[in-house]
Structure 1
């Protein structure tokens, strides 16, 4: 009973810690939908796959969200036609490459500023490399969950993601026979949530500036995405809490006796503990006296990209096989980079 109580306590703590950042990410995603024409942002991204991965990895400076909040933003950008390289680069880099996390890492490791520098450099290098690799897949829909792929298909029917819907498009299928979330627009016409954006709200000219209607759409989209992503967050937090309680931590800590085993141990610990990237540097600081700097870097770089809680959220975007590829590539690149750090620095 004591272990169950501890597991439930950890589950609630993970959920309470992660939910505000999930809400922040969902709010940013909904703001993209309602108040910003994100297709203008996507249009200025470089067409070159490598440069697109670089640009996508640096967008985290504009959207300071952790691994709980970057998923809804990345999903929204994918729906609006962001290239694979940029979207995956953002998904992997945003939890680390943002001002809040960089500042918290600096506060925790003020006496070791090289950790801050290498955390940013390694995270960027991994995100850009993986984004570049997946740029080979031009059409993202085979990698995505069926529902998300269907939404992208619906939106992409408009030529080049046109700002306005085609007025001459034949409406052969009744909206009553279509799936999705609908809102009641002007003159009683139904508006499909999946097909709307800041540039295509289908508002009449005399209502386009009405704040109340845009706010209603914003609230509706927040509630919709919270329903879809909240369940994944609960499942991921429950698994992470059970592993923390029922897998003895001594098994992992005992591995930290050599260079290679300590790196692997801290990567496993990062995946299991699932601490938010905004506070994980303080958790890693508690191991500074027993683990090497390279293993601490492994924890700080790998954890924000791939942890159990984040995997649960990623399942709302990608198919399981795609997540396995992301996990394997991120783990290998992290291990190689921090191992090189241990030998050359």
Structure 2
């Protein structure tokens, strides 16, 4: 927080100088316009998302979630997938919740399904996607279906092939809860906002740089090569590690690319990226992460491509 305050004050002091530099350089002006447009549009949804995420962390405990899950494997996986839509949360919050829910058999598969579904298909994310793509209502439907199918597929794959011995990290459980609900809420919201906002800045800056630094012929080439565009944007989603409440605005800014690769970007990002891989390795163990992360990337990319071609067409 002190770094954030100092940065804001510093930018305020150099505001006039920065404005003069931007006004005389068309390329910098274009990049600044793209950056500000993405950041200003995404920020309200980011704030709303972290507030809801903080409320979930305060009032919805892992033990309570575990009691809501059915015992039958297929039913538990479906319930966890649909439950992700009703319990909005950031990717960073869903990993610890899933770890606390995790157990052998049914509970483990359902926990992983919830971990992938909650940050991808919750109402805040879907509304943000609708705002980012005002002329493409099918984009919201395609994102919801593809993300839900990805979560359910990974839960089913774990139920079929997962091995408890891959979980090498034990979860430390506190013996006594001393923090008040207000303290829990404010700490969760503060943590999620600072982390998500930092990645939003990186993502908006990357999108602005792509508009200015990448030649237009490269985008034309990607637009004409659907498979190449899908692979490039899947890799970009993994590297940028954007928050799911804000990634739709970055995807919408890449209007020079077809809709299907941008859908892949939106489905892959909340499922697996570099920060999620690190968190999964820390919570579950390296043996789990090096198996689960690549499988999630393949499943998310494949499902998003199939759903995109079916709903959006080759565009």
Name 1:29's counterpart in structure 2. Answer: 57
Higher deviation after alignment, 260-269 or 70-79: 70-79
- Aligned 8 A contact 1:104 1:281 in 2: yes
| CA RMSD after TM alignment | 4.2
List runs of 5+ in structure 1 lacking aligned partners.
1-9, 152-192, 202-212
1:281 alignment partner in structure 2: 248
The answer (yes or no) to whether the contact 2:88–2:124 under 8 Å persists in 1 is yes
- For residue 47 of structure 1, give the secondary structure of its aligned residue in structure 2: coil
Kindly tell me: are residues 88 and 129 of structure 1, through their superposed partners in 2, closer, same or farther at Cα, counting changes over 3 Å? Answer: same
Question: Residues 250 and 343 (structure 1 numbering): CA distance in 2 closer, same or farther, change over 3 Å?
Answer: farther
Matches within 5 A, 1:128-207: 128-136=152-160, 140=164, 142-148=165-171, 151=172, 194-195=174-175
Deviation track 1:277-300 (CA, whole Å, cap 9, x = no partner) reads: 111111111112x21111111011
Query: 1:169 — aligned with what?
Result: none
TM-score, scaled to structure 2: 0.66
| 1:299–1:317 CA distance, 2 compared to 1 (3 A) | same
Aligned twin of 1:75: 99
**1:40: how far off?**
4.6
The one-character-per-residue Cα deviations of 1:247-280 (angstroms, maximum 9, x if unpaired) are 9984996655401000001111111112211111
Q: 1:292 to 1:40 in 2, by over 3 A?
A: same
* TM-score normalized with structure 1 length: 0.61
1:107 match: secondary structure: helix
List per-residue Cα deviations over 1:299-343 (Å, max 9, x = no partner): 111111111222232233222232232222222223323433337
What is the aligned residue count?
261
Unaligned runs of 5+ in 2: 1-34
Residue 227 (structure 2) pairs with residue 260 (structure 1)? yes
Q: CA deviation at 1:143?
A: 3.4
d(CA) in 2 for partners of 1:49, 1:256: 42
Aligned to 1:209: none
CA 99–60 in structure 1, closer or farther in 2 if over 3 Å, else same: same
State the alpha-carbon separation in 2 of the partners of residues 26 and 320 from structure 1. 28
Deviations 1:55-86 (A, max 9, x none): 11122233211212222332333389980111
Q: Could you tell me which of 296, 315, 323 is aligned with 2:262?
A: 296
**Aligned equivalent of 1:317, options 269, 273, 283:** 283
In the alignment, what sits opposite 1:307?
273
